[in-house]
Chains A and B, each alone.
Chain A
């Protein structure tokens, strides 16, 4: 135990696991107070995640945008930036992918990458704005990204209504050649909506790992995250790194939007409220300890929780919002790692 507290790397892995367990426990407690059976609730939740090939397929489908949103948040975190704007960047990317998927006529091999690239560029530009304002005017990125979320929400809705409206609050469908959906994956999982997007998500995780761990650029980004002033003194261009970090972060978020546009929905809805994926991305990044592979695991877990929630409601009658409560609690516990450190110290002292 004492050893564990001294070893920061190990502690960084223990905190998320501990938090996830604590979150579930408090969730069970809430079920008890609400007069529901926690055992039944959790077994239904588990069923909903792993009970059938279709459930597993849906879990992985829901994980792809969450992983990418998590990567977006995690990448910015590494440079010491907090990107709450993933939600907005995701919407912008979603719209861009749907527009390219609808308007262009290309063979699938080119069409899909071009549509994803368009989403990445749109999201990247949207993320660049707060990065630029931070670097140039020292404006806190949190506030700017929140404001830009709303600008993105209302603007994308307006653009769809004006230029891409197919009726019934939806945009036109994308062309077949831009679609990520796959009959093969769908058959494999008994007719889930699983699509090739998960490959893009995993690929992006690998790219993030490579960029951060194996390149000079990544070293600089992390250095700026650790200590801005020291990096400046060492001759790094802090402003450039901030802008770059937010741009890449936004690009990840934009691709998360493409997952929805080219994969799950094949169009875009005129939204009046946020999808929530961007905010869940914060939870994913925290639980994954900002590590690309940790983020994949956390993304799959949250994807599963989200898709299994209706099943829990159906089988155990527990309102599906419980999942949202559990996710929120996990965020609290990860963020309050000081509490976990305190608890562990207390336990280890008593053990002696």
Chain B
């Protein structure tokens, strides 16, 4: 097996598994940059997966293949609204943000299954008829070598994810809005003095994280799993959280980390086809992202520091 053959297997698989992680990690970046820790990404993703699958199942008979794409938009809105629970608790009511995030995860797990049983009278949904399919990009996939590696058998959502990461980077680091978002996460009192509404910026940050996690969850459900069960999202949200940290709270970094974690995850599946990796127990590949994140935090793989004010509720007039 030549090196090129290996790339043809690995790179499309990486892009395929990384897309939901990229979206969700970007959501994490936006929330934490505004100063709100979001452990609830997992739950927000689950809610997005739920909304995405239910919408697709409802619409697929009338609109056909467009259904999953509409469903992603619906999931983004639904998870955005759902994330308001976290926002209200942790910003307005000054709840411990980690505790609130844990509660979001539990609430999402309970609520989605409760609704699935209410709607379908069973513990899981049917498989959707129309998925977001892996496809070849017209023209580009005909380019020799590169076409096979980067533009064949990959769902469009993967390209969109990378594109969105660049947009988020631009917004966070090159626009006045991004400057305000970062300032309330680093030094809310200074930001307040400059006339920025700290709580409003934080609300925007959290809701955007809900929107992105919703997209991530629905992309996962509609491109990878195909239906919704209680276990559709099993750790992807936390993996995205890890990607955000490994990417040092930077949109492009988070995207890179998500791609790398996607690569590690896909290796644990496709590794059996690749000569060198056949002998490595797959458990090492599966736990690699988590171990690497811990190492990154300790400074062995480049120091990662969180936004200074993340995790601390802002109370006007309090030093």
Which residues of A approach B to under 8 Å, CB–CB?
30, 34-35, 82, 84, 133, 137, 139-140, 142-144, 146-151, 154-155, 157-158, 272-273, 279, 282-283, 286, 319, 321-325, 327-329, 331-332, 334-339
Report how far A144 CA is from B306 CA in the complex, Å: 14
**Which chain B residue has the least Cβ–Cβ distance from A161?**
B283
User: Which residues of chain A have C-beta atoms less than 8 A from B114's C-beta?
Assistant: 30, 34, 319, 321-322, 325
* Interface pairs (13), CB distance under 8 Å: A35-B118, A133-B294, A139-B298, A143-B241, A147-B242, A158-B281, A273-B234, A321-B114, A325-B107, A328-B110, A329-B107, A336-B100, A339-B93
- Beyond A147-B242, A273-B234, A331-B103, whether A321 also contacts B297 by CB under 8 A is no
Measured between beta carbons, the chain B residues less than 8 angstroms from A154 are: 283, 286-287
B238 shortest CB reach to chain A, Å: 6
Chain B nearest CB from A66 CB (Å) reads 14
Across the interface, A146 reaches (CB within 8 A) one of B111, B241, B298, B299, namely B241
Contact with A along B100-140 (1 / 0, CB 8 A): 10111111011101100110000000000000000000000
**A142 adjacent to B281 (CB under 8 Å):** no
Is the Cβ of B100 less than 8 Å from the Cβ of A335?
yes
- A147-B238, A328-B110 known, 10 other contacts, Cβ within 8 Å: A137-B298, A140-B297, A146-B242, A148-B290, A154-B283, A154-B286, A321-B109, A332-B107, A334-B99, A336-B93
A-B complex: 7 closest residue pairs judged by Cβ atoms: A324-B110, A335-B95, A336-B93, A328-B107, A328-B106, A325-B110, A331-B103
Interface of A (DSSP majority class): helix
Q: Which residues on the B side are within 8 Å of A339 (C-beta)?
A: 93
**Does B231 lie at the interface of the complex (its beta carbon under 8 Å from any beta carbon of A)?**
yes
* Beta-carbon nearest neighbor of A339 in chain B: B93
Chain B residues closer than 8 Å to A327, beta-carbon distance: 106, 110
Within 8 A of A (CB), among B241-280: 241-242, 245
Q: Which residues of B contact A329 (CB under 8 A)?
A: 103, 107
Which chain A residues lie closer than 8 Å to B95 at the CB level?
332, 335-338
| B145 at interface by CB-CB < 8 Å | no
Instruction: Write out the residue numbers on chain B whose beta carbons fall within 8 Å of the beta carbon of A323.
Output: 110
- Decide if B102 touches A282 in the complex (CB within 8 Å): yes
In the assembled complex, the Cα of A30 lies from the Cα of B100 at a distance in Å of 20
Which residue of A has the minimal Cβ distance to B283?
A158
**B109 near A324: Cβ-Cβ < 8 Å:** yes
Please tell me if the beta carbons of A282 and B99 are within 8 angstroms of each other in the complex.
yes
Decide if B75 is an interface residue (CB 8 Å cutoff): no
In the complex, whether B39 has a CB less than 8 A from a CB of chain A is yes
Contacting pair B290 A150 (CB below 8 A): yes
Task: Write the nearest CB–CB distance from A330 to chain B, whole angstroms.
Answer: 9
Contacts of B235 in A (CB 8 A): 150
Give per-residue flags for B215-252: 1 if the beta carbon is below 8 A from chain A beta carbons, else 0. 00000000000000001001100100110010000000
Closest B residue, CB atoms, query A136: B298
Known: A34-B114, A272-B234. A143 touches B297 (CB 8 A): yes
B287 touches A150 (CB 8 A): yes
With A331-B99, A331-B103 already in contact, the answer to whether A147 and B234 are too (CB < 8 A) is no
* A335 engages B287 (CB within 8 Å): no
| Contact A151/B297 with A335-B95, A335-B103 known, Cβ cut-off 8 Å | no
Q: Kindly provide the distance from the CB of A170 to the nearest chain B CB, expressed in whole angstroms.
A: 18
Of the candidates B103, B105, B109, B231, the one having the most CB atoms from chain A within 10 angstroms of its own CB is: B103
* Chain A residues with CB under 8 A of B286: 154
Say whether A147 contacts B98, CB under 8 Å.
no
The reply on B192 being an interface residue by CB < 8 A is: no
Among A149, A328, A334, the most chain B Cβ lie within 10 Å of the Cβ of: A328
Return chain B residues, CB-CB under 8 Å to A143: 241-242, 245, 293-294, 297
Interface pair B234/A321, CB less than 8 Å apart? no
